[in-house]
Structure formats: structure tokens, C-alpha cells
Structure 1
Amino acid sequence: MAVIWAMVATVVYLAATAAGRSDHVPTDACKSMFPSGHGVDAQLSEPPYVFTLPAKMAPNSEVIVILSGSGSSDTFKGFFVKAFNDATSSPIGSFKAPKTIDCDGPASGAHHANSTSKESVTLTWLPPLNFVGSVTFMATVVESRENFWTGVVSDQLILG
């Protein structure tokens, strides 16, 4: 009987993975930032998405980061964003919204809450207390099951 339950659990898990994630990012995507269950490779073309953020902020400031399409028709259904310390290439800080995941620390990644088409998303990022240095944001952006981009990179943010 235990074997049957294990097989049922495996089938349910595989079906959920194959169906994609319409409202969350699984923790197994934390390191690679690659969406599981899409069955295709990421697009190699220039991503039609951009970050908008300040160039410089004071330490301990909340930072507003906007991810949007480059043009008015460039919408997306899913996203996964992390911030990286440029000096160490390590993930850094935490997000407040819209939905977060604990990858490299509490709320160290931000992601979509649903698969509704979006023109943009506004995120609030918090640097570590008294951090001085530069940070770059990186995203995976999903337009559709067949079309997504990894390595969407922001301009550098200087804290200090």
C-alpha cells in the first residue's frame, strides 16, 4: 500500500511540475533562476524587458525597483527577481512585495502572485543594514510557456 501512495504522490508532483507555476516559484529554482516545467530553453534574443531604479541611494533606504516591458505590447505573466552584491556576486537584501521566496535568506527573491498579463511590476527592496556598495538586480521573465528570458539585468545601484 505504501508503494501505491508513493507512486500516486510522484505522479501528482510530476503533473504539477509539468503544468508550470502560475502563482509561485519553487525553491528548486532559487540557484539557477530557471523556470521548471516549461520544456523549452530560454530565449537567446535581447529581452524585451527592463528595470527602472535609482542610480544611487543612501544606505538603509527602501529601493523601488520596476520591472516592465520595453514597449507597450511587451507584457509578461511571470517573473523572479533577486538582488546581487556586485563585489561578491552573492544574493543580498530582501523584498517586501508582491510575493517573496526564501532562497538565500528571508524574502531574498520576489516573484509573481498570479499568471495575469502584466505591463510592469513594482517591487520594494531592502538592503542589509548599513550596507555600502553596489547592487545589480537580475530577473527571469516569462511571457508565455514557450517564451521566457533569463539573465535580465538591471543597471547598477550604488548605496552609499
Structure 2
Amino acid sequence: MNRMEVKSQTALFLLLLCWVVAILSYPTGAPVGQCVMMTPNHSNATLSNMSSPYSVTVNASTYVLGGIIKVYINSSVPYRGILLEARDVNTSAIVGTWKDLSTNTKTLNCGLGTNNAVTHCNNTDKSGLVYTWVAPAKNGPNKVVFMATVVKIRVEYWIELKSSELTLATTGAAFGLKSSAFVTLSLLSLGLVHFL
């Protein structure tokens, strides 16, 4: 073999190796390093400039500390990859945890958190999955939004897809007891004043 043939074969091998690596990019989920920016690091992939066929929806407009919220990726188009997080609207901090995931997804430990993000664990088509978020038990933010990166195929994806914002609800029982006591005392004092 002459030098030219060796160089050609080496170049072909490197090209083939790059192609294999590109095909296999993150088939088992987003790496923890992507938690903040939520951008896939797939080679030769670019953010889609087309309107997203996916939307992020939730089953509530408010949440309570320690409560459960169901999150959905709505579309008639299946997706292969996902990175899903709940974020504090004011600080962008990742909040809460995830549980009861399908066999096609898994949790990530982003930053100092545990099970605080969801990603895919294979590159098979996904649709109709329900993601279960558990709100923080204490010190929950006033407003939470769910953010997703959805990968249709390795080279076509959308980032920062957002749900509607959820507001932290005041605890109804505690608020109700205080209000009832105030109203009862007010009515009693009015009654007593009236009888005097």
C-alpha cells in the first residue's frame, strides 16, 4: 500500500467512526451536564427552526407543598428523547422530584438535587407518557413552570418548551380555620354588642 491509499483509508475510517458516534449520541439519556442549558450535544444537530409539534401541559394551575402534578408532552408525533424539569419561575432553580416513570424514562440528579429531572433511557419512539412530579415538601417557590427539551430524531429537537405557570396555593385547611374563627368571633362580638 502506498501512502496515498493509507491516508484515504484512514480518512474513511475516521469518517465512519464519526458517523457511528453521531448515530449513537446519548441513546440512553441526557447527561447531567445538560441540566442547566437543556441543549442536546448531538453532533451535526441543530435546533429546529420549525414550530414545535410538542407542547407541555399539566393537570393543575396551582400546586401544594408535597403535592403531585401530572405533566404531559402532547403531540401526535412520537419523540425519542426528552429532558424535563420543573423550574422556579423567578430563579430558574430546578425544584421538586419525579416518580413513577415509564420504563422508557429515568431520573437524573441535577446539581445537588436527587431525581429532579427526567430523561429518556433508550431511543425508541415515545408518546402518551405521563410524568409525575412531586412538589417540594417545604420552601416551594411561588411559581413553577415545567420546561422540556424534546428530541424527535437525533438531528431535530426543540428546547425550552414551557407549560403554563403553576402558583403555590396557600394551604386551604389552615387558611379556612383562621377565616372561620375570625368570622365566628366577629359575629359573636356583633351579637354581643347588639344585645348590650
- TM-score, with length taken from structure 1: 0.81
Matching residue of 1:44: 49
Q: Which residue of 1 aligns with 2:37?
A: 32
Indicate the residue corresponding to 2:26 in structure 1. 21
One-letter amino acid of the structure 1 residue matched with residue 95 of structure 2: I
Give the match for residue 119 of structure 1: 127
CA contact (8 A) 2:64 2:135 kept: no
SS of the residue 1:143 aligns to: strand
Deviation at 1:128, TM superposition (A): 1.3
What is the aligned counterpart of 1:148 among 157, 161, 164? Answer: 157
Structure 1 unaligned segments of length 5 or more: list them: 1-10
Distance in 1 (alpha carbons) for counterparts of 2:45 and 2:26: 15
Are 1:66 and 2:75 an aligned pair?
Answer: no
How many residue pairs align between the two structures? Answer: 145
Deviation track 1:106-142 (CA, whole Å, cap 9, x = no partner) reads 1111011221112232111112113252100111100
Q: How does 1:74-153 map onto structure 2 within 5 Å? A: 74-96=77-99, 97=101, 98-104=105-111, 105-130=113-138, 131=140, 133-153=142-162
SS at match of 2:118: strand
Amino acid in the other structure paired with 1:55: S
SS of the residue aligned with 1:120?
coil
Q: Aligned AA for 2:62?
A: K
Shift in Å, 1:29: 1.3
Deviation at 1:16, TM superposition (A): 8.0
Aligned AA (1:103): C
CA–CA separation in structure 2 for the residues paired with 1:133 and 1:16: 46
Alignment partners' CA distance in 2, 1:64 and 1:93: 13
The more displaced of 74-83 and 40-49 is 40-49
Considering only aligned residues, what root-mean-square deviation do their CA atoms show, in Å?
A: 2.1
Query: Whose helix proportion is higher, 1 or 2?
Result: 2
Q: Is the 8 A contact 1:57 1:159 kept in 2?
A: yes
Identity %: 27
Uncovered stretches (5+) of structure 2, i.e. residues with no partner: 1-13, 170-196
Give distance in 2, aligned partners of 1:127 and 1:36. 29
* Contact 1:68–1:121, Cα closer than 8 Å, also in 2: no
